[in-house]
């Protein structure tokens, strides 16, 4: 089982957080409270950020993330950390590959993805993730399949917006015009980190 | 209207959307909190509007804020609103928000049940998909119960996209609503062979997750998974399956044997490292489970270790890490093969990656032996010096202690060395494991008697230089070792060389800066020391020196009396008074030493850590009862005592006889001295300048005597453990020489003619004799301690509820609750709608359950045993490659068909014929009804009986259940036993595999009179071969009471168990049923005689069998053969088979045209195989069985059955 998926940047700012199991904080009433989640993000960032570039990608979990059975498996792409917290039923190398598939899928869906894409479209990232992992279990590992489903859903969305959506789109385009060009330089260029490859993924 | 819409959408253009919000937050870096609270106010306004698009936009923004840590639970209702929007765009936003912020405590969840159900059955696959995804994150027990059936339907959806999601979410449903596991499992199992790889992978995923928690329930799936493993090419699936096998093998070693070969093949062939790694891992698990079973698995181990070495040597840190991780698993069972790679592991200790260093440390733990312990620890000590960062250094420290102390100091040959290591460790600045070192010092000093002298000298040196250690007085800091040092010096003060000096060291003013609990130990041990000094001085007649010591105490103790720590203060003032008293006595020149030392007389034994827990509670003592009713106000009650108890814990428990008289004491001391004198090892361990016992005769044969250690002992804290390494080498060398010498002598003797067994010279662990006699005192346990270790399973473990036997056939009562009135047009609150339905549902089955409980149980066991047999067959067949491919369809069919049949009645007509579904099961009350119905609605009854046949486990003709439309005649296995005007008895016999050979006779008693029947009692005249199982304590002539009474016209069923010795022949038993019949005129005593007939058939148990196992069985050649032929049969072959299955408890293995092979098993394990062939109007049956008598009897009985056809 995957217990949580976190994405944060080099400064620990969360870009996506997905918790698949409630973290019970004592006293009981606030079960999956935002505070616990923030604390987990902070602690994870603290653990991960102090590690060198060329050390292994596995970490025995902190206390908050729950139990000795759990592991943090992470990858660092440019400005972003992708961290999966998993228990012992997951294959470590398999999850590393999954992260790679995830990032490659993001890259495909956003066309040369960068941190800003994740900042402004966290909902889309969630949707992509939902096609890969469901309730903490791996749903699909084939990138083409994921992209197909995402495209189909986007098409559905567009058809629903129809004419009524047009003015909104125009306004948003106008709003964006006033901004300086979104910098695209923080891309995840170094995707070619050596991956022990599972042939089926490619 | 149209205008309003346009206006709405124009308004919306100027609402902030998610991007605007993000941009705004980024532009307000300084006053982010203020800006966000402003935004939240806006959002609240937006949520109040009617336009669903505005609401969705607001919820979308809230989801983002949730990620930043803002509480959005107040908007939960709006989230539900957006979830129920008709458009997919909004729905998705709603479900996302729900999955991020809903949890079990969210009360609006119960409003969502119907909405989710609607979405699940939506024609758009994406609506369904998004609902499933959302539900997977916030499913609650209520939702799981209400929606389980809907989700189960989706598992057979036409779109694989939905199927795979439905399959995955079932795991969450099982977790929340464990009752759903059994009804849903057959379908889940089906999905393992789904044509879509994604669905298949999802099913594997779910089953692996389930099996990981309760592996034993999933053993029977092993053959299926094995097939998948050898056929699948999806690495994800393979990894999951291989991991699952890793969990299963410990339960079934035979499975391991079967796995080894395909796994090794995979290891050789795969290019994917992840798969390779998991294979290696599972092979390791297999080898662990087989550790005794298989002789030639060393090749596999070598392969694993060799592959792991490649991983560890890889430049990829991830592989290195995993390699070490797997290596540590091998280490547990095969330390030898790992120890060969010590170099590699030590190399990893130098790695820059801390995770890898820690893994390497773990490995070292298992790699040490007597031979290399010193070397390894030396290396670790070097790392301790080099290590930057206290965390890693502390880890090293604990590892060193772990390694040395493991399994009762098994690997330590020289305790002097160990003590010096501990002393060296005290020089670590800022460690937080002072207490660990202290505990080790105490433990060693107490348990290894021979080392005490050395330990004391080291500890006194430590006390002398306490200022070095005591610089940091934080809790658990290194100053803790002073606790141990003080205690050891005090307790074993007779070994001190310069007690006075140590006494002074312990009374220095600086001591008062130490933590309280340490000071307390100081004070207490000062007195012990003082007692020893008095003793010594008085014996020497030096009363002057004795008085000086007293004076010192009187002067210095007041500094402790002023201590803020209560414990210290109390002890100090007590002792001060004592010493003052002694001073008075001394002034009168009276000898006091004996009396003072009597305070501390007695031997001290270590107590096992669990001893306290194991003291049995005396009878009549209620630990929970209040002694005094607590006062209402209990403020600050628990703080102060806590600290005291904490201190107490660290102090080793002392057991002292209250008063030991002086003579006894002197005697003991003398005895101890004697013992030490006679102990050859003792001398070696006291390398002090005063080698008192050196000249004792009889010790000159000890190899190492000439060790001059006097120098290092004087200097505290100097690294001297290294010397021991050298010394140890020398010592071993000498030992070896000596051995060689002995061997030579031996050889000479041998040459002279005496034949002796000579062993090869290898320096194994055993050859290294310890330098000290490791007299490790065993820990004490209280008398009549309870031996068992209560397993501490967490009762709150959510996975425990899923520990469910899946092999038992489904009972009628086990169904997923179905929503009956699905389309409630009115928008009633879902609560009201749901609750009564569920209640109705749950009540009904309960009643039934009770009635059938017993029967059900018996049958379940039988069936489970049957499945177990399957697995046995599968496991016992040799190499997996031999699994014949062409036969597989047959196998599949015979496995899945009964499942499907069990499914069908469930899904379709469940509630409808729930009441009368199974006449055989409820023969009692429905007996009469059934007869009526027989006449009325014949067709329905036929259907029923057919169902019954399949439920009986008689795998009804499989391949073609649907082809032949000819209905089966009704069958009942109950036959008449006896009948009179009062009562009618019918019976059926069933074998059970439990315990010895037993059969259960189910007897239906029907009251045919108008009297009330009571006090029924059944008695049977036992034969040598068959006995009625009577309640304990009753004689063979006593009857067994029937547990019910019968009002007029009522029938009920009673069960009696018989024990059978030999089952090869049919049996007959005479018996009587006696009862009292009561009617208006009065009551009469009646009885009814009967003859109970046990045909050989009744000893058979329907057992399914795979065709390959069947073929093996026939080939094995240890079955004898017989055959019969019956003519004049008009019945269709299918019905014929069904009849044999039903009446004779066989199952069809395979059927080809008009020829079928069948199998069954007796309660004593005989295999019975049949080949049934149908010719023109005739049937021939060839049988094979372990026992020829049984076979011929069976065939005779079958002839009888067939003749009626």
Which chain B positions have a beta carbon within 8 Å of A18's beta carbon?
100
Could you tell me the two tokens for B1064?
Answer: 């090869």
Sort B571 into a burial class: Cβ within 10 Å, 0-12 / 13-18 / 19+.
Answer: buried
pLDDT the model gives residue B627:
79
What secondary structure letter does DSSP report for B507? Answer: T
Tell me if A111 is assigned to some domain.
yes
Does B758 have pLDDT greater than 70? no
Would the CB atoms of A120 and B356 count as touching at under 8 Å? no
Would the CB atoms of B92 and A127 count as touching at under 8 Å? yes
More reliable by pLDDT, B693 or A193: B693
CA dihedral B823, B824, B827, B833 (to 10 degrees): -120
Which chain A positions have a beta carbon within 8 Å of B10's beta carbon?
167
Out of B870-874, B962-966, B1047-1051, pick the least confident.
B962-966
Q: How far is B561 from chain A (nearest CA, A)?
A: 43
Q: What is the C-alpha to C-alpha distance for residues B201 and B440, in angstroms, rounded to an integer?
A: 52
Question: Residue B93: pLDDT band by 50, 70, 90 thresholds?
Answer: very high
Tell me if A182 is assigned to some domain.
no
Could you tell me the two tokens for B295?
Answer: 């002789």
* H/E run at residue A58: strand A58-60
Does B899 have pLDDT greater than 90? no
Mean pLDDT computed over B1129-1157: 82
Q: ipTM value of the model?
A: 0.89
Residue of chain B whose Cα is closest to the Cα of A150: B126
Longest CA pairwise span in chain B (Å): 127
Best B133, B207, B328 residue to mutate vs chain A (most A CBs within 10 Å): B133
Tell me if A37 is assigned to some domain.
yes
Looking only at the bridges linking them, the beta strands covering B1155-1162 and B1147-1152 are: antiparallel
Would the CB atoms of A34 and B164 count as touching at under 8 Å? no
Question: Residue A129: pLDDT band by 50, 70, 90 thresholds?
Answer: very high
Does B76 have pLDDT greater than 70? yes
Q: What is the mean pLDDT of chain B?
A: 75
Q: What is the C-alpha to C-alpha distance for residues B811 and B182, in angstroms, rounded to an integer?
A: 10
The domain total for chain A is 1
Q: How far is A107 from chain B (nearest CA, A)?
A: 20
More reliable by pLDDT, B180 or A186: B180
Does B796 have pLDDT greater than 70? no
Phi, psi of B1101 (to 5 degrees): -125, 130
Which chain B positions have a beta carbon within 8 Å of A34's beta carbon?
66, 69-71
Which chain B positions have a beta carbon within 8 Å of A89's beta carbon?
208-209, 212, 243
Question: Residue B148: pLDDT band by 50, 70, 90 thresholds?
Answer: very high
pLDDT the model gives residue B885:
39
Would the CB atoms of B233 and A200 count as touching at under 8 Å? yes
More reliable by pLDDT, A83 or B729: A83
Percent of chain A surpassing pLDDT 90: 31
Would the CB atoms of A198 and B172 count as touching at under 8 Å? no
Q: How far is B97 from chain A (nearest CA, A)?
A: 10
Does B17 have pLDDT greater than 90? no
Mean pLDDT computed over B917-935: 45
Phi, psi of B610 (to 5 degrees): -95, 0
Q: Which of A1, A123, A138 lies at the smallest CB-CB distance from B63?
A: A123
Mean pLDDT computed over B471-485: 73
Does B760 have pLDDT greater than 50? no
Percent of chain B surpassing pLDDT 90: 11
Does B98 have pLDDT greater than 90? yes
Question: Residue A186: pLDDT band by 50, 70, 90 thresholds?
Answer: very low
Which chain A positions have a beta carbon within 8 Å of B87's beta carbon?
160
Question: Residue B71: pLDDT band by 50, 70, 90 thresholds?
Answer: confident
- Residue A49 domain boundaries: 2-163
Q: Which of B137, B209, B321 lies at the smallest CB-CB distance from A20?
A: B137
More reliable by pLDDT, B1175 or B676: B1175
CATH of the domain at A98: 3.30.450.60
Best B176, B318, B355 residue to mutate vs chain A (most A CBs within 10 Å): B318
What secondary structure letter does DSSP report for B826? Answer: S
Q: CA B379, B382, B383: angle at the middle one, nearest 5?
A: 95
Does B987 have pLDDT greater than 70? yes
Best B22, B69, B233 residue to mutate vs chain A (most A CBs within 10 Å): B69
Does B806 have pLDDT greater than 80? no
Q: What is the C-alpha to C-alpha distance for residues B1090 and B1072, in angstroms, rounded to an integer?
A: 6
Residue B389: which residues within 8 A CB-CB, separation 6 or more?
none
pLDDT the model gives residue A16:
93
Tell me if A148 is assigned to some domain.
yes
Identify whether the C-beta of residue A70 lies closer than 8 Å to the C-beta of residue A43.
no
Query: Positive or negative, the Cα torsion across B199, B202, B206, B211?
Result: positive
Mean pLDDT computed over B959-964: 39
Could you tell me the two tokens for B67?
Answer: 């990620």
Q: Residue A27: is the preceding peptide bond cis (ω within 30°)? A: yes
* H/E run at residue B1157: strand B1155-1162
pLDDT the model gives residue A170:
64
Half-sphere exposure of B1037 (CA within 13 A, CB side): 0
Q: How far is A56 from chain B (nearest CA, A)?
A: 5
Would the CB atoms of A91 and B277 count as touching at under 8 Å? yes
Does B424 have pLDDT greater than 90? no
Mean pLDDT computed over B1158-1169: 84
Could you tell me the two tokens for B882?
Answer: 């031999």
pLDDT the model gives residue B853:
47
SS3 assignment for B584-597 = HHHHCCCCCHHHHH
Mean pLDDT computed over B944-955: 43
pLDDT the model gives residue B937:
46
More reliable by pLDDT, B10 or A73: A73
Task: Please write the tens of the pLDDT for every residue from B291-317.
Answer: 655 556 677 888 888 888 888 888 888
pLDDT the model gives residue B120:
92
Does B962 have pLDDT greater than 60? no
Tell me if A200 is assigned to some domain.
no
Mean pLDDT computed over B860-874: 55
pLDDT the model gives residue B715:
39
Mean pLDDT computed over B278-284: 87
Does B906 have pLDDT greater than 60? no
Could you tell me the two tokens for B594?
Answer: 């004996």
Which chain B positions have a beta carbon within 8 Å of A200's beta carbon?
233-236
Tell me if A124 is assigned to some domain.
yes
Question: Residue B682: pLDDT band by 50, 70, 90 thresholds?
Answer: very low
Tell me if A169 is assigned to some domain.
no
Task: Please report the number of interchain residue pairs, chain A to chain B, with beta-carbon separation below 8 angstroms.
Answer: 184
pLDDT the model gives residue A192:
33
Q: What are the DSSP E strand ranges found in B535-600? A: none
Q: How far is A194 from chain B (nearest CA, A)?
A: 8
Question: Residue B994: pLDDT band by 50, 70, 90 thresholds?
Answer: low
Phi, psi of B1051 (to 5 degrees): -125, 155
Would the CB atoms of B243 and A179 count as touching at under 8 Å? no
Residue B854: name the closest of B656, B1055, B658 by CA: B1055
Out of A74-88, B460-474, B627-641, B1097-1111, pick the least confident.
B627-641
pLDDT the model gives residue B475:
55
Which chain A positions have a beta carbon within 8 Å of B317's beta carbon?
54-57
Q: How far is A148 from chain B (nearest CA, A)?
A: 11
pLDDT the model gives residue A130:
94
Residue of chain A whose Cα is closest to the Cα of B93: A123
pLDDT the model gives residue B977:
84
Question: Residue B675: pLDDT band by 50, 70, 90 thresholds?
Answer: low
Tell me if A185 is assigned to some domain.
no
Does A182 have pLDDT greater than 50? no
Residue of chain A whose Cα is closest to the Cα of B353: A55
Would the CB atoms of A200 and B14 count as touching at under 8 Å? no
Would the CB atoms of B321 and A200 count as touching at under 8 Å? no
pLDDT the model gives residue A111:
84
Mean pLDDT computed over B196-206: 91
Out of B348-352, B845-849, B1025-1029, B1084-1088, pick the least confident.
B845-849
Best B22, B40, B132, B136 residue to mutate vs chain A (most A CBs within 10 Å): B136
Does B449 have pLDDT greater than 80? yes
Question: Residue A201: pLDDT band by 50, 70, 90 thresholds?
Answer: very low
Q: What is the mean pLDDT of chain A?
A: 78
Which chain A positions have a beta carbon within 8 Å of B14's beta carbon?
171
pLDDT the model gives residue B993:
64
Q: How far is CA A173 from CA B50, B670, B991, in A?
A: 26, 101, 80
Q: What is the C-alpha to C-alpha distance for residues B433 and B610, in angstroms, rounded to an integer?
A: 22
What secondary structure letter does DSSP report for A114? Answer: B
Could you tell me the two tokens for B218?
Answer: 């999933």
pLDDT the model gives residue B674:
65
Which ranges in B426-515 belong to alpha helices (H)? 434-447, 452-464, 466-469, 480-491, 499-506
Does B1001 have pLDDT greater than 70? yes
Does A174 have pLDDT greater than 70? no
């Amino acid at each position: 089982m995957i217990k949580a998926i976190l994405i944060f940047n080099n400064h620990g700012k969360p870009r996506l957080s997905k918790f698949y199991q409630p973290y019970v904080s004592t006293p009981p009433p606030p079960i999956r409270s935002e505070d616990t989640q923030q604390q987990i993000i902070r602690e994870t960032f603290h653990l991960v950020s102090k590690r060198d570039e060329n050390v292994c990608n596995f970490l025995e979990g902190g206390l908050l993330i729950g139990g000795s059975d759990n592991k943090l498996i992470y990858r660092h792409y440019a400005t972003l950390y992708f961290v999966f917290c998993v228990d012992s039923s997951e294959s470590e190398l398999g999850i590393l590959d999954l992260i790679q598939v995830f990032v490659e899928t993001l890259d495909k869906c956003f066309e040369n993805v960068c941190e800003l894409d994740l900042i402004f479209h966290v909902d889309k990232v969630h949707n992509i993730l939902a096609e890969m992992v469901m309730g903490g279990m791996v749903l699909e590992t084939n990138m083409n399949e994921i992209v197909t489903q995402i495209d189909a859903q986007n098409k559905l969305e567009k058809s629903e917006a129809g004419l009524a959506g047009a003015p909104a789109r125009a306004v948003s385009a106008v709003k964006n015009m006033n901004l300086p060009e979104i910098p695209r330089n923080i891309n995840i260029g170094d995707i070619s980190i050596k991956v022990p490859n599972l042939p089926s993924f490619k | 209207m149209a205008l309003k819409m346009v206006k709405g959408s124009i308004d919306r253009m100027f609402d902030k959307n998610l991007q605007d919000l993000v941009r705004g937050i980024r532009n307000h870096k300084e006053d982010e909190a203020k800006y966000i609270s402003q935004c939240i106010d806006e959002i609240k306004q937006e949520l109040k509007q009617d336009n669903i698009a505005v609401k969705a936009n607001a919820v979308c923004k809230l989801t983002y804020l949730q990620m930043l840590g803002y509480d959005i639970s107040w908007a939960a209702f709006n989230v539900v609103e957006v979830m129920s929007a008709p458009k997919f765009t909004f729905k998705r936003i709603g479900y996302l928000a729900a999955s991020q912020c809903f949890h079990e405590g969210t009360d609006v969840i119960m409003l969502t049940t119907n909405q989710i159900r609607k979405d699940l059955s939506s024609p758009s696959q994406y609506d369904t998909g998004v609902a499933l995804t959302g539900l997977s994150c916030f499913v609650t027990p209520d939702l799981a119960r209400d929606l389980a059936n809907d989700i189960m339907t989706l598992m057979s959806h036409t779109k694989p996209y939905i199927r795979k999601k439905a399959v995955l979410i079932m795991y969450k449903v099982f977790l929340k609503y464990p009752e759903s596991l059994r009804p849903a499992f057959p379908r889940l199992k089906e999905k393992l062979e789904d044509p879509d790889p994604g669905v298949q992978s999802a099913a594997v995923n779910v089953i692996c997750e389930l099996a990981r928690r309760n592996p034993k329930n999933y053993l029977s799936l092993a053959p299926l998974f094995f097939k998948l493993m050898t056929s699948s090419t999806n690495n994800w699936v393979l990894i999951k399956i291989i991991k699952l096998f890793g969990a299963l093998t410990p339960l079934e070693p035979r499975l391991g044997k079967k796995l080894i070969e395909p796994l090794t093949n995979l290891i050789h062939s795969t290019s994917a490292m992840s798969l390779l790694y998991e294979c290696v891992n599972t092979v390791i698990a297999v080898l662990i489970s087989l550790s005794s079973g298989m002789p030639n698995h060393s090749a596999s181990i070598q392969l694993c270790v060799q592959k792991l070495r490649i991983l560890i040597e890889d430049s990829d840190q991830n592989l290195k890490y995993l390699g070490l991780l797997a290596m540590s698993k091998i280490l547990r069972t095969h330390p030898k093969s790992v120890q060969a790679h010590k170099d590699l592991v030590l190399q990893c200790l130098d790695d820059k990656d801390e995770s890898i260093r820690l893994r390497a440390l773990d490995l070292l733990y298992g790699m040490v032996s007597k031979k290399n312990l010193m070397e390894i620890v030396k290396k670790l000590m070097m790392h301790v010096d080099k290590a930057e960062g206290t965390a890693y250094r502390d880890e090293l420290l604990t590892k060193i202690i772990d390694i040395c102390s493991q399994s009762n100091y098994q690997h330590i040959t020289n305790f002097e060395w160990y003590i010096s290591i501990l002393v060296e460790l005290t020089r670590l600045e800022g460690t937080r494991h002072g207490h660990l070192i202290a505990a080790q010092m105490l433990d060693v000093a107490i348990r290894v008697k021979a080392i005490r002298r050395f330990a004391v000298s080291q500890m006194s040196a430590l006390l002398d230089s306490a200022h070095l250690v005591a610089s940091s007085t934080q809790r658990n800091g290194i100053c803790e070792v002073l606790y141990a040092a003080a205690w050891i010096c005090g307790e074993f003060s007779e070994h001190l060389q310069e007690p006075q000096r140590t006494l002074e060291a312990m009374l220095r003013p600086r001591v008062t800066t130490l933590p309280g609990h340490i000071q307390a130990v100081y004070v207490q041990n000062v007195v012990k020391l003082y007692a020893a000094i008095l003793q010594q001085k008085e014996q020497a007649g030096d009363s002057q020196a004795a008085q000086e010591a007293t004076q010192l105490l009187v002067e210095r103790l007041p500094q402790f009396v002023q201590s803020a720590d209560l414990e210290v203060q109390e002890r100090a003032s007590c002792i001060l008074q004592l010493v003052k008293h002694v001073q008075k006595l001394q002034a009168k020149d009276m000898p006091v030493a004996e009396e003072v030392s009597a305070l501390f007389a007695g031997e001290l034994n270590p107590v096992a850590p669990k001893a306290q827990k194991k003291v049995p509670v005396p009878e009549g003592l209620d630990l929970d009862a209040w002694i005094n009713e607590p006062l209402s106000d209990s403020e600050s009650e628990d703080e102060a005592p806590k600290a005291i108890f904490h201190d107490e814990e660290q102090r080793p428990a002392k057991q002292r006889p209250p008063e030991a008289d002086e003579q006894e004491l002197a005697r003991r001391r003398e005895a101890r001295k004697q013992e030490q004198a006679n102990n050859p090892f003792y001398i070696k361990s006291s390398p002090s300048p005063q080698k008192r016992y050196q000249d004792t005769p009889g010790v000159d044969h000890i190899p190492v005597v000439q060790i001059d250690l006097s120098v290092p002992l004087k200097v505290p804290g100097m690294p001297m453990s290294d010397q021991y390494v050298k010394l140890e080498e020398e010592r071993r060398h000498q030992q070896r020489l000596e051995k060689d010498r002995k061997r030579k002598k031996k050889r000479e003797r041998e040459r002279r003619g005496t034949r002796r067994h000579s062993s090869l010279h290898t320096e194994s662990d055993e050859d290294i004799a310890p330098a000290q006699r490791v007299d490790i005192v065993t820990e004490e346990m209280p008398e009549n301690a309870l031996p068992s270790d209560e397993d501490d399973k967490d009762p709150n473990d959510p996975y425990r509820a899923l520990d469910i036997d899946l092999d038992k056939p489904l009972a009628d009562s086990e169904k997923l609750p179905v929503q009956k009135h699905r389309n409630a047009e009115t928008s009633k609150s879902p609560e009201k709608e749901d609750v009564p339905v569920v209640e109705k549902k749950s009540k009904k089955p309960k009643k039934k359950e009770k009635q059938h409980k017993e029967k059900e149980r018996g049958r379940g066991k039988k069936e489970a045993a049957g499945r177990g047999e399957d697995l046995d067959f599968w496991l016992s067949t040799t190499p997996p490659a031999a699994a014949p491919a062409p036969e597989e369809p047959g196998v599949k069919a015979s496995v899945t068909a009964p499942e499907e049949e069990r499914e069908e009645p469930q899904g379709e007509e469940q509630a409808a014929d729930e009441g009368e579904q199974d006449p055989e099961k409820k023969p009692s009350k429905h007996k009469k009804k059934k007869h009526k119905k027989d006449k009325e609605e014949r067709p329905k009854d036929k259907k029923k009986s057919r169902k019954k046949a399949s439920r009986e486990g008689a795998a009804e003709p499989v391949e073609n259940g649907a082809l032949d439309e000819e209905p089966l005649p009704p069958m009942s296995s109950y036959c008449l036993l006896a009948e009179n005007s009062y009562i009618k008895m019918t019976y059926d016999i069933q074998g059970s595999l439990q315990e010895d050979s037993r059969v259960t006779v189910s007897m239906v008693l029907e009251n045919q009179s108008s009297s009330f029947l009571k006090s029924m009692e059944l008695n049977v005249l036992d034969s040598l071969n068959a006995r009625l199982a009577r309640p304990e304590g009753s004689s063979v002539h006593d009857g067994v009471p029937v547990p019910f009474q019968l009002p007029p016209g009522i029938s009920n069923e009673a069960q009696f168990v018989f024990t059978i010795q030999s089952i090869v022949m049919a049996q007959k038993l005479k018996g009587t049923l006696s009862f009292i019949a009561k009617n208006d005129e009065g009551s009469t005593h009646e009885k009814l005689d009967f003859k109970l007939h046990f045909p050989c058939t009744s000893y058979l148990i329907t057992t399914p069998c795979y065709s390959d196992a069947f073929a093996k069985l026939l080939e094995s050649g240890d079955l004898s053969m017989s055959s019969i032929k019956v003519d004049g049969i008009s019945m269709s072959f299918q019905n014929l088979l069904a009849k044999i299955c039903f009446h004779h408890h066989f199952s069809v293995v395979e059927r080809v045209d008009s020829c079928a092979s069948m199998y069954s098993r007796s309660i004593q394990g005989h295999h019975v195989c049949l080949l049934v062939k149908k010719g023109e109007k005739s049937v021939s049956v060839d049988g094979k069985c372990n026992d020829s008598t049984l076979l011929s009897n069976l065939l005779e009985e079958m002839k009888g059955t067939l003749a009626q056809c």
